[in-house]
Amino acid sequence: ATPTAIITAMGKGAEMGILIKDAESLEKGVKIDTIILDKTGTITEGSPKVSEFVEMGNCTKLDRQVIYSLEKKSEHPLADAIADYLSAEEMAIQDFRSMTGHGVQGVAENQIYKVGNLKWIKTSETILHPELEKKSQNALEEGFIVVFASKNNQILGFFKIADLIKETSKEAIAILKKMDIEVHMLTGDQEKTASMVAKAVGVAHYQAEMLPEHKSKYIKKLQSQGKKVGMVGDGINDSEALSVADLSIAIGHGTDIAMDIAEITLVHSDLIDIPKALNLTKKSIKIIH
């Protein structure tokens, strides 16, 4: 590897908003034949907006204030969306817990509140009113992300949240496939939302309802089949997966942790820069040999 070729490639990358950590990252990039994409914040904008809070009649102003306060404590993009929508006055929460890939919970006025996915919220004592269940199913069919809230295991309602697919995601995935790169999507989100997004952007391999450790296991499995895996994520729940991948690529607007780990950072958060980055590594190595 000639230092000149490395410096040229890194300089060209930097001009395009593709930050390459070091020479080793360039060499790793050449071998990649599989790309794993996180959904939220990677394929999608990751700045979701609440369209509606569909409540049961039992949700009080205080309940909404507690939900707001819980989400204020979470760094999840869905939490920001919910807090923005409710914009109440923050109140004290006891026993706050953030359950990665599930949601958040805490105690206020001696009641246990949870906000997150239904699978996690639902217990044996939870009653899901058929009408509310129908409405949430419809919202999922329409492509919304659905997040439930509960008090003492009783459903208060659900948030209908929209997270737009980035304009260039579909094209970027098509380019990667043309380069003979297998593309997979992994998400902690539920099956229905995952399948809608995967279909919309042309990803055949996807897996929903994945916890962070599932994502890294999935990568290890592909690696055991001889695949060289590049993982692209925004770092919210992705750091474990990024660190096991053969090449880690962080989305620019993501968390600092992701950018610390990442061998390549895409400053513009645009998936079109993935094929560009891979081409850049190939070119630099060609010059080198």
Give the catalytic positions in this structure.
Answer: 38
Query: Is residue 269 a contact point for ligand ADP (CB under 6 A)?
Result: no
Spatial contact of 255 and 234, defined as CB atoms under 8 Å apart: yes
Torsion angle of the four alpha carbons 195, 199, 201, 205, in this order, in degrees rounded to the nearest 10: 70
Query: Is residue 157 a contact point for ligand ADP (CB under 6 A)?
Result: no
Query: Is residue 66 a contact point for ligand ADP (CB under 6 A)?
Result: no
Q: How far is the CB of 70 from ligand ADP (least distance, A)?
A: 8
Q: How far is the CB of 189 from ligand ADP (least distance, A)?
A: 4
Binding mask 205-244 for ligand ADP (x = CB under 6 A): -------------------------------xx-------
Binding at 269: pick from ligand ADP, Mg ion, none (beta carbon under 5-8 Å per type): none
The smaller minimum CB distance to ligand ADP, of residues 147 and 176, is found at: 147
Instruction: Tell which residue, 232, 228, 236, has the closest CA to residue 256.
Output: 236
Which range touches ligand ADP (CB under 6 A), out of 73-81, 173-181, 255-263, 271-279? 73-81
* Residues within window 79-108 making contact with ligand ADP, judged by CB under 6 A: 79, 101-104
Q: Which one of 25, 34, 117, 284 is in contact with ligand ADP (CB under 6 A)?
A: 117
Binding at 161: pick from Mg ion, ligand ADP, none (beta carbon under 5-8 Å per type): none
The smaller minimum CB distance to ligand ADP, of residues 8 and 154, is found at: 154
Query: Is residue 136 a contact point for ligand ADP (CB under 6 A)?
Result: no
Binding at 102: pick from Mg ion, ligand ADP, none (beta carbon under 5-8 Å per type): ligand ADP
Measured between alpha carbons, how far is 255 from 63 in angstroms, rounded to an integer? 30
Binding at 103: pick from Mg ion, ligand ADP, none (beta carbon under 5-8 Å per type): ligand ADP
Instruction: Tell which residue, 134, 94, 99, 131, has the closest CA to residue 111.
Output: 94
Residues engaged in binding Mg ion (CB under 5 A)? 38, 40-41, 234, 236
Contacting residues toward ligand ADP, per CB under 6 A: 38-40, 71, 74, 76, 78-79, 101-104, 115-117, 145, 147, 187-189, 236-237
